[in-house]
Amino acid sequence: MIRVSFNDGWMFSKSGPSLMGILGGAAPASEPVQLPYDAMIRETPSRDALSGAQTGFYPGGEYTYTKVFPVPAEWEGQELLVEFEGVYEIAQVYVNEAHVKTNLYGYSGFYADIKDYVKYGEDNTIRVNVNNPTPNSRWYSGSGIYRPVNLLRGDLVHIAADGVKATTLTADSTSAILNIETRIVNSSRKKQPIAIECTLSRGGEAIKKDTVHLTLWAGDNETVRQNLNIPNPMLWNIDTPDLYELNVNILQDGNILDTVSEKIGLRVLSLDAENGLRINGKPVKLKGTCIHHDNGIIGASTFADAEDRRARQMKEAGFNSIRSAHHPMSKAMLDACDKYGIVVMDELADMWYVHKNRNDFATYFENCWQEEVRRIVEKDYDHPCVIMYSSGNEIIDLGNQAGGRINRAICNLFHDLDSTRYTTTAVNGMISAGVSGVMPAIIGDIMKAKGIDPAALQKDGSPEDGIGGMNIMMSLMTDDLFTSHPLMTQALEEASQAEDIAGFNYLTGRHELEKELHPNKPIVGTETFPAEIVRLWRIVEDNPHVLGDYTWTGYDYLGEAGCGIFYYDGTVNFSSHFPDRLAYIGDIDIIGTRRPISYLREIVYGDRKTPYIAVTRLDRYGMKHSQTKWMYKDQVSSWTWPGFAGKPTEVEIFSADEEVELFVNEKSYGKKKAGRANGFIATYDGVLFEPGQVTAVGFCGGHEVSRTVLESAGPDVLLRVKADADSIKADPMSLGYAVLSLTDAQGRENMFAKETVTVSIEGPAVLEGYGSADPQPVRGYQDNTWETYDGKLLCAIRSTGEKGMIKLTFTSADGKQAVTYIQAK
């Protein structure tokens, strides 16, 4: 089917359906918008928002999108679909005021068949009513039509939507066999003699072609299968993400009736507990991260450029796998993962029949789950990056036998629809043990073993009544005695056996035990604490049955606000503290800057050879702060601390070298052990700050092998701006990014200074988002004035569709300026 963008010409209002509006009375005020358009990110966070910190205090609501569009008379009799790639949460689609489609799951794409509702040769009106009845999500969801919309038109004989499936049957360095299944539809009233032509190309050159002739009977919907034998193939893998273009045509009398083109990769998967995961026969360990779907300062709005940016930054940081948590991944992110060689675990849902929020998807799960499984498979099938499906995350139902039955049904349906990939389930032991009723016995046994008085769970003498007890409970429930307790094994048994790969959230202590209990079953850490990477990766490396790890999380996100914020005023994490907006626990912050834990992970993976210097913020050193298992230390990689000369701090050196030595200017703080045997970390406490240089030197066998230097920035504070790229497409779906940094005249970054900076745009672009990585901001991301945080700001612009030069000017409150140019072409 012919697919064209359907994203322009929409009108938007923050209101629900109106009888007066339908009858021609006064309608709510509306404004023109270009899709995708996340309505939530444009709202004002409120301490009274029903979702509270879950959505970063953003409210939900009801929204209406309308568009007037012409339908040519010659389209009559043809297929006509509108594809919505994502609308949050409940969407109702009307054409000329007739109801066409209702969609109940905010993370799946769906099609509205409008051919019987339009007026041919006239203008038509499509209206989408969206209801986001909060609370329904444990993280920032976005609202409204937040992913692209497309119009699909098919002739009387056409390829069905999502109608091409490409499967690599065999593949090695000498040859590969690609099977192509094409679903074709004859909507006419007579037989149609046609040919199906499949062409595989690379770099514009045809590699293989196959043609099948057939007669398609009136009203038939058939599947045609063809094989291509590709000599000396370029195989897709995480280090060599080679892609081909597959083109499928329907031909009749030499004319092309319909065509589908898509990029595919040739690869085969294999899996067992003795050899782990292999792609094309090569072992792969999953250096994974969980991510939510938002794109930071632009909210949940999904653009290919935004998803590409996140994927590229995660791959550069050392990740080779992404778990889409806890929802199906966008098409744009799948494309980016194909491009960069990132393998994907795509997840169905965060709940089944038991609610986590009163308005969440559990209300509709019974009637929707089979369709949602089909949708996720159809979306993912031709993407080589997708290697496994997750049936769900921390599902409360899995604490009982009925949950095991549901899981078997879901996993079996995934296999029925796609036999080439594997299944897993992200199981939380605390939930399974709690629901199954064995939690009190487990906790009692652990407390007895550790000599803990049960009264400590009520109050430990801390000022916050009960907080000390909560911290004790959290520590107990991540202790190895908890994760490997026999009653935990009992609670997890049915929950973790329906899937091909046992997935465990925060149960690292079970990973080696599972080999004894289930020697034939591979496992993966579907969700793990960031600071646990040193221990966890040693387990991954030493055990073939442990496929890898997915940290929570690789990229910071909106919502679950305060999970990782360092509070120095007695505030407790997870206390729904306004104006917290971000989780603040990503290896990479929401504007794309890597945090210290990211470099530790890269060193643990073996991907970074030079030391990394992490400095505890001098203005916070020695202060008591909140702490959760998702947090490491309040560190930055900076040696610019004006006004703190002679003040102490803690400096850590992350290094794979056997030994490291720390210098401040010419003063040595001595050598310390590092490397794998010592957890890759050497800690120096009480280091006195002096402006100049701090240097980490790495040694192996007594000889210097590496060196890293941080230099103090000078007193002058300048604005410097760097665009991600010097050009973007002249297309309203195209974004450009520019990062503003505070530096001195020599370009040394200053993370301590603060500036209030206004951005202005000249040329064919508009502001899509602007802001910092501050987890507690007071401004909106559509404001053009923001305060820097850790010396940085990020600006996202959107092309208006015209060609020309775009000028971005950043101006500080005291008149300093920085300018960059981006060409729209």
Q: Of the given ranges (245-254, 476-485, 489-498, 638-647), which has the lowest mean pLDDT?
A: 476-485
Which is nearest to 2 in space by CA: 180, 260, 199? 260
Query: What's the mean per-residue pLDDT of the chain?
Result: 95
Is 20 a residue whose pLDDT tops 70?
A: no
Which residue is it, tokens 């590709």? 230
* Cα–Cα distance measured from residue 774 to residue 713, given in angstroms and rounded to the nearest whole number: 22
Contact 291, 555 (CB under 8 A): yes
462 pLDDT band, cuts 50/70/90, is: very low
Q: How confident is the model at residue 466 (pLDDT cuts 50, 70, 90)?
A: very low
Query: pLDDT, tens digit, for every residue of 365-395?
Result: 999 999 999 999 999 999 999 999 999 999 9
Alpha-carbon dihedral sign for residues 211, 214, 217, 223: negative
- pLDDT at residue 465 greater than cutoff 50: no
Give the orientation angle of helix 596-605 with respect to helix 533-542, to 10 degrees: 20
Q: What is the pLDDT of residue 45?
A: 97
Gap between the Cα atoms of 323 and 730, Å rounded:
32
The H or E element that residue 80 is part of is strand 79-84
Q: Is the pLDDT of residue 818 over 60?
A: yes
DSSP letter at 72 equals -
479: confidence class by pLDDT, cuts 50, 70, 90: confident
Q: CB count, 10 Å around CB of 272?
A: 13
Cβ 258 vs Cβ 216: under 8 Å: no
pLDDT in tens, 428-449: 999 999 999 999 999 889 988 8
As given in the structure block, the two tokens for residue 496 are 């973790």
Tens of pLDDT, residues 174-197: 999 999 999 999 999 999 999 999
The arithmetic mean of pLDDT across residues 111-129, rounded, is 98
Question: Given the DSSP bridges, would you call strands 546-551 and 523-528 parallel, antiparallel or unpaired?
Answer: parallel
Q: How many CB atoms lie within 10 A of CB 44?
A: 9
Strands (E), 441-578: 501-505, 523-528, 546-551
Side chain identity at residue 230, one-letter code: I
User: Which residue in this structure is represented by tokens 């010659």?
Assistant: 74
643 contact partners, CB below 8 Å, separation of at least 6: none
Q: What is the pLDDT of residue 745?
A: 96
- Residue-level pLDDT at 25: 56
**Distance from C-alpha of 78 to C-alpha of 101, rounded to nearest angstrom:** 19
Residues 823, 825: Cα–Cα separation, whole Å: 6
Residue 674 pLDDT level (bands cut at 50, 70, 90): very high
Q: 511-523 pLDDT, tens per residue?
A: 999 999 999 999 9
- What does the pLDDT read at residue 495? 87
Which of 262, 269, 268 is CA-nearest to residue 331?
A: 262
Q: How far apart are CA 329 and CA 262, in angstroms?
A: 18
Percentage of the chain lying above the pLDDT 90 cut: 92
pLDDT at 476: 72
Q: How many other C-beta atoms lie within 10 A of the C-beta of residue 280?
A: 20
What are 76's two structure tokens? 């009559």
Per the listing, tokens 């559509």 go with 782
Q: For 335-358, what is the mean pLDDT? A: 98
Q: What is the mean pLDDT of residues 680-687?
A: 98
Contact residues for 137 (Cβ-Cβ < 8 A; gap 6+): 51, 54, 55, 350, 357, 360, 559
Residue pair 513/484 in contact (Cβ under 8 Å)? The answer is yes
The whole-number average pLDDT for the span 353-375 is 97
pLDDT of amino acid 452: 82
Mean pLDDT of 287-299: 98
Per-residue pLDDT at 460: 45
Instruction: Please report the pLDDT score of residue 468 as a whole number.
Output: 52
Residues 6+ apart with CB under 8 A from 419: none
pLDDT for the residue numbered 669: 98
More confident residue, 461 or 151: 151
Structure tokens at 364: 């509709």
Q: What are the tens digits of pLDDT across the range 535-547? A: 999 999 999 999 9
State pTM to two decimals. Answer: 0.96
Q: What angle do CA 628, 632, 634 make, to 5 degrees?
A: 105
CB 754, CB 818: distance < 8 Å: no
The answer to whether 813 and 755 have CB atoms below 8 angstroms apart is yes
Tens digits of residue pLDDT in 747-789: 999 999 999 999 999 999 999 999 999 999 999 999 999 999 9
> What letters, b where the CB count within 10 A reaches 16 and e where it falls short, cover 742-764?
bbbeeeebbbbbebebebebebb
Taking residues 236-249, what's their average pLDDT?
Answer: 98
What are the start-end ranges of the H helices in 563-647?
A: 596-605
The average pLDDT across 223-240 equals 97
Determine the pLDDT at residue 461: 42
Please enumerate in sequence order all residues whose Cβ is within 8 A of that of 628, keeping only pairs 6 or more positions apart, or say none. 474, 563, 564, 573, 574
Q: What is the dihedral of CA 698, 699, 705, 706, to 10 degrees?
A: 0
Q: How crowded is residue 400: how many other Cβ atoms within 10 Å of its Cβ?
A: 18
CB 753 within 8 A of CB 791: yes
Q: How far apart are CA 398 and CA 20, in angstroms?
A: 47
Nearest to 574 by CA among 626, 625, 529: 626
Both tokens of residue 710?
């941080």
Cα(90)–Cα(131) distance, integer angstroms: 5
pLDDT digits (tens, 9 = 90+) for 717-735: 999 999 999 999 999 999 9
φ, ψ dihedrals at 399, nearest 5°? -80, 0
Cβ–Cβ under 8 Å, residues 548 and 525: yes
> H or E stretch including 721?
strand 718-723
Encode pLDDT of 396-430 as tens digits.
999 999 999 999 999 999 999 999 999 999 999 99
The letter for the amino acid at 411 is C
Q: Looking at residue 473, what is its pLDDT?
A: 63
Is the separation of the CB atoms in 74 and 50 below 8 Å?
no
**pLDDT value for 17:** 64
Cβ proximity of 195 and 252 under 8 Å: yes
Give the confidence band of 26 by pLDDT, cuts at 50, 70, 90.
Answer: low
Length of the chain as a residue count: 825
Residue pair 129/64 in contact (Cβ under 8 Å)? The answer is yes
Residue 540 corresponds to which tokens in the numbers above?
């991954």
Residue 450 confidence (pLDDT): 85
- pLDDT tens figures, 43-83: 999 999 999 999 999 999 999 999 999 999 999 999 999 99
From the list 309, 392, 385, 307, the residue with the least C-alpha distance to 347 is: 392
Q: Which of 215, 155, 213 is nearest to 191 (CA)?
A: 215
Report d(CA 621, CA 643) in Å as an integer: 14
Could you tell me what percentage of the chain is helix, strand and coil, using 3-state DSSP and rounding each to the nearest 5?
A: 20, 40, 40
Q: Specify the 3-state DSSP secondary structure of 411.
A: helix
Cα 11 to chain centroid distance, Å, stands at 29
pLDDT higher than threshold 90 for residue 29: no
Question: Three-state DSSP class for 491?
Answer: helix
